[in-house]
C-alpha cells in the first residue's frame, strides 16, 4: 500500500460518518437551546496564542502542538483546543464587553501530537460552549446542568460529574506556596515528574497517578481549605446551584485541569465505560484569561465535549442518533435503451421535488438492477420501459414489502408525495 493515513488520524466512513454528523447537529441544538450562538473558527492560529493561554509549561504546549511556519516566517500552530481561538475572535471582533453576557459555541477538529490510544487521536473533535462577561456562580451551575441533563437524557453509561475549585489570583498563590512547602517536605517519596512539576507547575502534581505519590498527595493540604472568602463563596454557590437542580456531583479536591488558565470552578465528566481515557467532557472558569490575551477584564466560564468519546459512549448505550430517511428514496432502472432519456427526466424532476434518487444505468439485467437498488439502500425501485414511456408512467415497487404499482410519472410533485407517504399494505 503506497499511501495510508498518517498516524493517529482516522477516516470517518459511512455509516459512522453519518451518525457522527447527527451527533454534532444534536450538540449544536443542545447549545442553541441554552442560548449559545455558534462561531466558526480557523483551525490554525499564531502559536503564541496557545502558549500564552494554555500555559508554557503544559504538556500540550511543550510537546504536543503541530507547529509550522508561514511564508512570512510567522510561527503558526494547528489548534490543540478551542477556547483560546474563541476568545481571540471575541476580543478581535469585540463580541464581548464587560458587564454584558455573551454565549458562544464552536465545534470542529483539534490537533495534538500524542501517542494514539482508545479514545485518543491526533486529530479529534470537540464541541465547546463559553459564557463571557459574568462571574455569577449560577452561570457555572447552569452551564454544568446543560451537560449533566444531556448525559442523563441520552443515558451516557457510568457518567459522573467531578467538581473542584481552583481558587482565584488572590488565594491560589498562597496555596501554591503552602503546597510547594509540603511537597518539598516529602520530596524523597515523590516521582521524578512530580519533583520537576513542584518547580514548574505544582498544582499539577496533585493529578499524579504514580502509586508512590498517592499516599503523599492524599494527605496534602486540600486547595479548598485555602480558598479566600469570595472563592469559597463562589464555589459554595455553584454547589448549591447544582443541588437545587438535583444534579448529582462528586467533590474532587484533587481535580486539577491540565490547562493553566482555569480559576475558581473546575469540573469534568468521566465515565468508567471509556477505557483509560475516562473524561468525555470538561471545563471550568477562566476569569483572568481574556485580559491576559489583551482583551478587557472579562470573566468567563466554558466547557468542551470530546465528540469521539461521546460517540463511543452513545454507541455503548445504544442511544446514537440514527438517520430517519433512507439514504436513497428511489432507484430508477431503464428496461431498454430507449428509456434512458425518460429515466433522466424523472430523476431530475424527482430531485427537484427533494426526493433522493439514483439512476441504475449499466445494469444488463433486471435482476441486477434489483440487487443494485438494495445496495444503494433504496426504499423503492422504479422501472420504465416501452409501456411506461408511452403512458408517461413509472412502475414503482416497495423493496421492503414487495408491493408494486404503476403510477403517473408526472407531475413529479404527486409522484413525490406518493413516495414520501407510501401506500400502505394494499396489493
Partner RNA sequence: GUGAGUGUAGCUCAAGGGCAGAGCACUGGACUGUGGCUCCAGGGGUUGGGGGUUCGAAACCCCUCACUCACCCCA
Choice from 51, 144, 397, 415 touching RNA (CB under 7 A): 397
Site map for RNA, 222-261, x if CB under 7 A?
-----------------------------------xxx--
319 with 154: CB under 8 angstroms?
yes
Torsion angle of C-alpha atoms 87, 90, 95, 100, degrees rounded to 10: 20
Of all helices (H) and strands (E), which one includes residue 102?
strand 102-111
How far, in Å, CA of 284 to CA of 264, rounded? 8
Q: Does residue 93 belong to the site contacting RNA (CB under 7 A)?
A: no
Q: Which is nearer to RNA, 237 or 279 (CB)?
A: 279
Please give the full DSSP string across 290-358, using - where no structure is assigned: HHHTTS-S--EEEEEEEHHHHHHHHHHHT-----SS-SEEEEEEESSGGGHHHHHHHHHHHHHTT--EE
Alpha carbons within 13 angstroms on the beta-carbon side of residue 14 total 4
241 with 140: CB under 8 angstroms?
yes
CB of 99 to RNA, least distance (A): 28
Q: Does residue 388 belong to the site contacting RNA (CB under 7 A)?
A: yes
Q: Does residue 193 belong to the site contacting RNA (CB under 7 A)?
A: yes
Q: Does residue 67 belong to the site contacting RNA (CB under 7 A)?
A: no
C-alpha cell at 252: 474532587
Choice from 2, 4, 29, 324 touching RNA (CB under 7 A): 4
CB of 140 to RNA, least distance (A): 16
Q: Does residue 367 belong to the site contacting RNA (CB under 7 A)?
A: yes
Alpha carbons within 13 angstroms on the beta-carbon side of residue 129 total 23
CB of 233 to RNA, least distance (A): 26
Terminal C-alpha separation, the chain: 52
Q: Which is nearer to RNA, 170 or 371 (CB)?
A: 371
Q: Does residue 20 belong to the site contacting RNA (CB under 7 A)?
A: no
Q: CB under 8 Å to 299, separation ≥6 — which residues?
A: 132, 133, 134, 135, 285, 286, 287, 290
Q: CB under 8 Å to 10, separation ≥6 — which residues?
A: 121, 123
Q: Which stretch binds RNA (CB under 7 A): 40-48, 139-147, 273-281, 350-358?
A: 273-281
Q: Does residue 64 belong to the site contacting RNA (CB under 7 A)?
A: yes
Interface of this chain with RNA, residues 308 to 327, rule: CB under 7 A? 308-309
Site map for RNA, 326-345, x if CB under 7 A?
---------xx---------
Of all helices (H) and strands (E), which one includes residue 283?
strand 279-285
- Could you give the maximum distance between any two Cα atoms of the chain, in Å? 95
Q: Does residue 300 belong to the site contacting RNA (CB under 7 A)?
A: no
Q: Please state, as a whole number, how many other Cβ atoms lie within 10 Å of the Cβ of residue 215.
A: 10
338 with 386: CB under 8 angstroms?
yes
Q: Which is nearer to RNA, 258 or 288 (CB)?
A: 258
380 with 367: CB under 8 angstroms?
no
Q: Does residue 353 belong to the site contacting RNA (CB under 7 A)?
A: no
Choice from 107, 126, 265, 349 touching RNA (CB under 7 A): 126
Q: Which is nearer to RNA, 245 or 404 (CB)?
A: 404
Q: Does residue 40 belong to the site contacting RNA (CB under 7 A)?
A: no
> Look-up: residue for cell 411506461?
388
Choice from 175, 280, 286, 342 touching RNA (CB under 7 A): 280
| Residue 201 Cα distances to 56, 58, 112, 350, 382, angstroms | 10, 8, 20, 63, 68
Choice from 71, 209, 354, 421 touching RNA (CB under 7 A): 209
Q: Which stretch binds RNA (CB under 7 A): 39-47, 55-63, 167-175, 237-245?
A: 55-63
Choice from 24, 31, 47, 81 touching RNA (CB under 7 A): 81
Size of the site for RNA (CB under 7 A): 70
CB of 109 to RNA, least distance (A): 10
CB of 164 to RNA, least distance (A): 13
Residues that bind RNA (CB under 7 A): 1, 4-8, 58-60, 64, 81, 112, 114-121, 124, 126, 193, 204, 207-210, 257-259, 268, 275-282, 304-306, 308-309, 335-336, 364-368, 370-371, 374-375, 383, 385-388, 395, 397-402, 404, 406
Amino acid at each position: 500500500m503506497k499511501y495510508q493515513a498518517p498516524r493517529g488520524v482516522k477516516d470517518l466512513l459511512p455509516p459512522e460518518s453519518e451518525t457522527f454528523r447527527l451527533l454534532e447537529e444534536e450538540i449544536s441544538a443542545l447549545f442553541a437551546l441554552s442560548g449559545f450562538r455558534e462561531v466558526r473558527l480557523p483551525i490554525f492560529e499564531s502559536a503564541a496564542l496557545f502558549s500564552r493561554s494554555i500555559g508554557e509549561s503544559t504538556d500540550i504546549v511543550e510537546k504536543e502542538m503541530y507547529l509550522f511556519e508561514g511564508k512570512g516566517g510567522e510561527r503558526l500552530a494547528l489548534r490543540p483546543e478551542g477556547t483560546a481561538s474563541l476568545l481571540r475572535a471575541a476580543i478581535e471582533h469585540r463580541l464581548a464587553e464587560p458587564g454584558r453576557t455573551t454565549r458562544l459555541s464552536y465545534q470542529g477538529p483539534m490537533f495534538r501530537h500524542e501517542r494514539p490510544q482508545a479514545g485518543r487521536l491526533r486529530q479529534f473533535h470537540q464541541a465547546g460552549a463559553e459564557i463571557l462577561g459574568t462571574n455569577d456562580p449560577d452561570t457555572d451551575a447552569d452551564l454544568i446542568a446543560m451537560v449533566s441533563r444531556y448525559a442523563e437524557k441520552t443515558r451516557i453509561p457510568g457518567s459522573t460529574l467531578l467538581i473542584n475549585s481552583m481558587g482565584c489570583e488572590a488565594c491560589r498563590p498562597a496555596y501554591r506556596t503552602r503546597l510547594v512547602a509540603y511537597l518539598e517536605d516529602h520530596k524523597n517519596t515523590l516521582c521524578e515528574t512530580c519533583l520537576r512539576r513542584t518547580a514548574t507547575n505544582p498544582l499539577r502534581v496533585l493529578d499524579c497517578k504514580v502509586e508512590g505519590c498517592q499516599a503523599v498527595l492524599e494527605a496534602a493540604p486540600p486547595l479548598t481549605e485555602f480558598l479566600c472568602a469570595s472563592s469559597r463563596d463562589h464555589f459554595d454557590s455553584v454547589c448549591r446551584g447544582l443541588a437545587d437542580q438535583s444534579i448529582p456531583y462528586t467533590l474532587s479536591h484533587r481535580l486539577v485541569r491540565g490547562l493553566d488558565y482555569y480559576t475558581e470552578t473546575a469540573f469534568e465528566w468521566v465515565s468508567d465505560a471509556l477505557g483509560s481515557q475516562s473524561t468525555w467532557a470538561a471545563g471550568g472558569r477562566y476569569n483572568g484569561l481574556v485580559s491576559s490575551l489583551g482583551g478587557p477584564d472579562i470573566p468567563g466560564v466554558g466547557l468542551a465535549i470530546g465528540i469521539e468519546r461521546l460517540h463511543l459512549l452513545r454507541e455503548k448505550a445504544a442511544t446514537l442518533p440514527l438517520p430517519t430517511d433512507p439514504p436513497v428514496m428511489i432507484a430508477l432502472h431503464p428496461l431498454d435503451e430507449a428509456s434512458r432519456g425518460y429515466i433522466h427526466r424523472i430523476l431530475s424532476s424527482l430531485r427537484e421535488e427533494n426526493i433522493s434518487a439514483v439512476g441504475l444505468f449499466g445494469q444488463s439485467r433486471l435482476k441486477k438492477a434489483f440487487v443494485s437498488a438494495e445496495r444503494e439502500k433504496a426504499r423503492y425501485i422504479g422501472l420504465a420501459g416501452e409501456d411506461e414511456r408511452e403512458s408517461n408512467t413509472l412502475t414503482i415497487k416497495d423493496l421492503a414489502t414487495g408491493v408494486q404499482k404503476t403510477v403517473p410519472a408526472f407531475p413529479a410533485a404527486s409522484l413525490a408525495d406518493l413516495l414520501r407517504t407510501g401506500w400502505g399494505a394494499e396489493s
